[in-house]
Every structure is written in C-alpha cells, then in structure tokens.
A and B are shown apart, each in its own frame.
Chain A
Amino acid sequence: MTTTVVEPWTKRPLTGYVAQSSARLVVVMTPAGQVLAQHGFARAVDLMGVAALGAAIIASSGALADLVGEATFGALFHAGQRHGIHLAACHMPRGSLVILTVFGRETSIGLVEFFFDEFAAALRAAAPADRERGPVLAENFEAELGQSLASLFGR
C-alpha cells in the first residue's frame, strides 16, 4: 500500500495513523476537496472521486448542523458489511482539513476514532506556522492541480 503526500509535513502523522488504526484508505484534504495526502489509493480517478464526495458530505452535514443550531457535528461514521468509513474535520491553525478513513473488519470504529484523535493532534503539531497564501488564479489552477496529482501518483 502506498502513502503519498503533497504537503510533506503530513507524511509522518499519516503513516503513524495508518499503522495504528489499520485503516485501508485515508485521504487528507481541504474542505474544497483538494487532496493533501493519501494512503492506499492506486488510481487518481478513485482518489479524486472519494475526495469530492467526502468534501461534499462534510459541507452538507455542516449546513445541517447550522439548521439545527449546532456549531458543527463531530465525526460521521457509516458501517457496511465489509467496510466502514469515518469522516471528520480536523481543525488546524490555517483552517480545517477533512479526513476520510476507510477501514475493514480487521479494526473497529472505536480504534479508528481513538487513533484519529492522536492523528489530528499530530497534524496540528506538524503543521507549518501560519503564512500568507496567495490567491488561486485561474491561470495557475490547472498547473497546481497537475502538480498535486503528479506528487500523489508520481506521473
């Protein structure tokens, strides 16, 4: 299984989380669905689809929380026959990240959730200090996206 990262500071926390929780797939992304790191995906198309859907679920649950007067909901968990997913936001100094974990029967939601808390703390500790981010320009968008995909899949 491969772990690839766009932001190098995410690698150590991610590999630790995968080893401890026995997760099969993990995606660390921005709330807009931009992938910062991943573990377990072999194809870019699968990763981009999962990232987009995960970000959409977080966005819609945030809107739902707003409607019922909650600041935010905690983690979302879906259990299947062979796989479960855990989806949660991780609050960082530079904004939130969204983390999607897919796990199998070899672990449990309790373990994933327990190690997720440690993962979130490790990410916060590893994150670089706050810095000014340049605007995303249309002319750079394609190149940045291509660069991210190349970092994640080495092509």
Chain B
Amino acid sequence: MSPDLERALDRISRVRGVRGSMYVAADDGIVVARLLMETVNGKAVAALAASLARKVEGAAAATGAGRVRFLQMDAADGTLLIAPAPRDLLVVTLADPRVNVGLCRFEMMRAAEAAA
C-alpha cells in the first residue's frame, strides 16, 4: 500500500467507533487498500458499497441532484460512509452506529484528496 494512502486510512481508523476503512475501485467493487478490524468482511463491504454508490449516483443523476459528494447509511448495528475520490475510487468506512460522522467525513475527505 502506498504510504500516503496508508496514512489516510490510519487517520480514519483513529476516529472512535470506526471498524475499518478502505479505498475501493468504484467500477469494480474490489478493494484497493484497506485497514480493517479482523471481523469485517472487506470483500463483501467493498462490493456492496460500490454497488450502492453506483445506484445512488444513478438516482442523483435522474433527479438532477448532480454529483454525489458523500453517502451515509445508518443501520441498527452499524454505519456505512462512502466518499467518492479521484481516479474512480471510493473511500469507504464502516463504523459503529454512534460514530462521530462529522469527524469521519472530514478524515474521509482528506483521504479522498490523498488519492489524487
């Protein structure tokens, strides 16, 4: 993993409640770089997050909302956060439901910049 990407993922993982974060290829849904807790199935999260991001992009385009900048999915047992990044990548973070989303988003935006 490139040191810049590694540092960016490390910063996200320092946010309390984060279970893991990854760079995912947006078109392919495969993991490019990751820093995950052992219990997280990175392959599954990457594939499903990329699929979700693509569907939301389609919905945003269809409604004239423009480019998607950030995606947040709150569920009973976890939160999935997705930020588009340059080079057709996504920054994907899986966290506890009570995670500080603002701080996560800030670090994820920095991670997206690191991929440029």
Same complex: yes
Taking beta carbons and an 8 Å cutoff, which residues of A are in contact with B?
A: 79, 107-111, 113-114, 117
Q: Which applies to chain B's interface (DSSP): helix, strand, loop or mixed?
A: helix
- With an 8 A cutoff between CB atoms, is B48 at the interface? yes
A117 to B44, CA, bound (A): 10
Cβ-defined partner of B44 (8 Å) among A79, A107, A109, A114: A114
- With an 8 A cutoff between CB atoms, is B20 at the interface? no
Most chain A CB inside 10 Å of its own CB: which residue of B24, B30, B43, B50: B30
Task: Sample 28 A-B pairs with CB under 8 A, ordered by A number.
Answer: A107-B51, A108-B28, A108-B30, A108-B47, A108-B50, A108-B51, A108-B54, A109-B28, A109-B29, A109-B30, A110-B24, A110-B25, A110-B30, A110-B43, A110-B47, A110-B50, A110-B51, A111-B29, A111-B47, A111-B48, A111-B51, A113-B30, A113-B43, A114-B29, A114-B43, A114-B44, A114-B47, A114-B48
A109 to B50, CA, bound (A): 10
A70 to B43, CA, bound (A): 23
- With an 8 A cutoff between CB atoms, is B27 at the interface? yes
Give the size category of B's interface with A: 10 to 19
B27 touches A108 (CB 8 A): yes
CB distance from A106 to the nearest CB of B (A): 9
* B29 surroundings in chain A (CB, below 8 A): 108-111, 114
Interface residues of B in 42-56 (CB under 8 A from A): 43-44, 46-48, 50-51, 54
Most chain A CB inside 10 Å of its own CB: which residue of B24, B48, B51: B51
* B48 surroundings in chain A (CB, below 8 A): 111, 114
A108 to B51, CA, bound (A): 8
